[in-house]
A and B are shown apart, each in its own frame.
Chain A
Amino acid sequence: MSIRSVGKIYDPEGVHVVALKDCSLEIAAGEFVAIVGPSGCGKSTLLNTIAGFDGLTSGEILLDGEPLATVDKDPSPGPDRVVVFQHGALFPWKTVLENVTYGPVVQGAMTEEEANTRAREMLSRVGLNDIETAYPGQLSSGMQRRVEIIRALINNPKVLLLDEPFRAMDTVTKSASHQYLLELYDATGKTIFFITHDLEEAIFLADKVLVMTTRPGYIKKTLQVNLPRPRQYSMLASEEFLAMKAQLVEAVHEEAVKAFEAGEREMA
C-alpha cells in the first residue's frame, strides 16, 4: 500500500484545520506497521482515509497499485480494509458468533453454515471456543478485543487497520492481547496498520514504527525494527530494544511538547 503526499484539511473555508500535510508512507504486503505520535496529530484521520470513511484533499492512496482514494475519488469502505476501533464496535445485540459471521454473511461471501464453521475454527485459535452464544456485554475487555480482531480477519482483508485497540487495558490483559495478536499475525501474514500511543507496544509488535508529527501530520521518522519473529517477552529488556525505545522517546517527546504548546496557544 502506498500513501503519497496525502493531505487532509477540515473545513477549508472556515476554521481551516490541516490534519495531514504531505504525508507519505509505503507499506509492503504482509508488513506490520505501527504509527505513534501525540494525541490529535492526525493518526486516526489517516486511518479513516485508508478505511474509506473520510475523503482527502490532496495526494493519493494506492492499494496493490490501484487507486483507493484520490482528490477526485472519495474512498469507499470495504471488507478488504477492516478496522478494529478504539472504543470497540461489536454489535451488542448479536452473539459472539453472529458478530463474527456478520461480514461474510452480509457480503454473501459464505453461507451462514460455512461462516459458522470458519468462525468457530478461528475463535478457538485464540482460546475462545465456548462463548459463541454469549453477548459482547458479558465478556471481559480482553475477550471482546479478540472477538473483534477475529471478526475483522474472517473477511480475509488485505489490510487490517487497528486504532489503538488495547488502549484502555490493564498491563496484564494488554500483554496477553499482544500475544494473541502476534500469533494471529504470524499465522495469517496479514498487512497490519496499527495506531498506538504506547512506544513499547509499537516496537514489540511491529516491523516498522513511524513517528507522526503534531498537526499538520506527516511522517517524521521511520524506525526499522529488526527483532526476530516470533517475538519473545524477554526482548523487552534487550539492549537493542531499549536503544530503539530511546530513539522513539526523543522523537515523540519533541512532538508532544510542540502539541502541548500549540494547545496552550489555542486556549489563550
Chain B
Amino acid sequence: MARAATMTSASFGYKTRKFFMSKHFTRGSLAVIGFFALWQAGSMGLMPFMHAIPTPVTVAGAFWEFMCTGKYWQSWMDSTLRVGYGFVAAQILGIPLGLGMGWNRNFKDFTYPLFELMRPIPPLAWVPVSILFWPTNESSIAFITFIGAFFTIVVNVLGGVSAIPRQLVDAAVSFGASPRQVFWRIVLPATIPSIVTGMMVGIGITWNVVIAAEMIAGNTGLGRLTWEAYLAGYTPGIIVGMISIGLAGYVSSMAVKMIGDWLMPWKKVF
C-alpha cells in the first residue's frame, strides 16, 4: 500500500533527483568514465593495435569543433527526422496490423504468409528499390527506416494479442462487454506491454538502419557525417560521428521508455 502511494504521488522532479543520487547512476557513470580512461591509455600506446585510434582528448577537441558548425546540428536534425518519420509511420501502420492479425483469424490467414515472406528481407536490401520507387532521397531513407521498425512492431503486437490470457476475455464477456468493448477495453490494453517492447526494440533498429542508409544513399545526416570523415581520412571525426549516433540512440530509447511508462502506469518498462 505504501508502494502504491509513492508510485502515484511522487513527482517527476523528485524521481529524477533521486535517480542522480542513486547507486544505479553511480555505477553507470563509473563504467562510462572507466571506458574513456582505458581508451586514453590504449591510444597512448599502452595497448596493442590501438595506436591508430585518436585519444579521447583529441576526439573531445574535434567534438567541440563539430559542435561549432551548423552542419553538425543539421546532421542531427536530418537523422532524427528520418528516424521519427519512419518510426512513427511503422507504429501507425504496424500496431493496427498486428492487432488485426492477432484478433481476426480470417485477416491473419490472408496477411500472415505475405508478411512472413517480406519480413526476412533486411531493410538495407530495400535500398535500391526504394531509391527507384520514391521520388526524393529523403522519402526513400525514411521508407527504409520504416521497414526497420515495422516488422518488429507487428511481430510483437501479434505475439502480445496471442498471449492474452483467455480468462481475461472470458471475464469481460461474462460481465456483459460487447465484442467491441472487449477489443478496445481488454485486448488493446492487454497488448500495451508488447507494443512498448516492440517500440523499444524498433527504435534501436531504426537508428541502425538510418545510419547505414545515409552512408549508402544520403547526402546529409549523422551517418553521412561519419562516412565523410572516413573518406577525408579524418579519424577523430569518425569517432565523433559514432559517439553522436550512440547518444542519439540513447536519447530516443529514453524517450520511448518514458512513453512506455506513461502508457502503462501499472508496470515498469525494463
Contacts and interface: CB of A to CB of B under 8 A. Distances in A.
A102 interface: yes
A168 to B, nearest CB: 14
A77 interface: yes
A22 B133 CA distance: 67
A91 B170 contact: no
B157 to A, nearest CB: 16
Nearest to A48: B170
Interface residues of B, number: 26
A129 to B, nearest CB: 10
Contacts of A79: 174-176
A107 B175 contact: yes
Interface in A125-143: 130-131, 133-138
A103 B175 contact: yes
Interface in A78-118: 78-79, 81-83, 85-89, 91-94, 102-103, 106-107
Contacts of B267: 92, 137
A58 interface: no
A85 B167 contact: yes
A93 B266 contact: yes
Interface in B72-114: none
A92 B268 CA distance: 13
B8 A89 contact: no
A194 B9 CA distance: 40
Interface string B1-12: 101100110000
Given A82-B175, A85-B170, A106-B175, A91 B4 contact: no
Contacts of A91: 168, 171-172, 186, 189-190
Contact of B192 (A89, A93, A107): A93
A93 B175 contact: no
Contacts of A196: none
B177 interface: yes
Nearest to A79: B176
A155 B175 contact: yes
Interface in B170-186: 170-177, 181, 185-186
B192 A103 contact: no
A216 interface: no
A10 interface: no
Contacts of B173: 77
Contacts of B70: none
Given A131-B4, A137-B266, A85 B177 contact: no
Nearest to A109: B176
19 contacts: A77-B174, A79-B176, A82-B175, A83-B171, A85-B170, A87-B165, A88-B167, A89-B165, A89-B167, A89-B168, A91-B190, A93-B192, A94-B266, A106-B172, A106-B177, A130-B1, A131-B1, A131-B4, A138-B7
Closest 8 CB pairs of A and B: A103-B175, A77-B174, A134-B4, A135-B266, A89-B167, A107-B176, A89-B171, A85-B167
Given A51-B174, A83-B170, 6 more contacts: A53-B174, A77-B174, A83-B171, A91-B189, A94-B189, A135-B4
Interface of B: 1, 3-4, 7-8, 165, 167-168, 170-177, 181, 185-186, 189-190, 192, 264-267
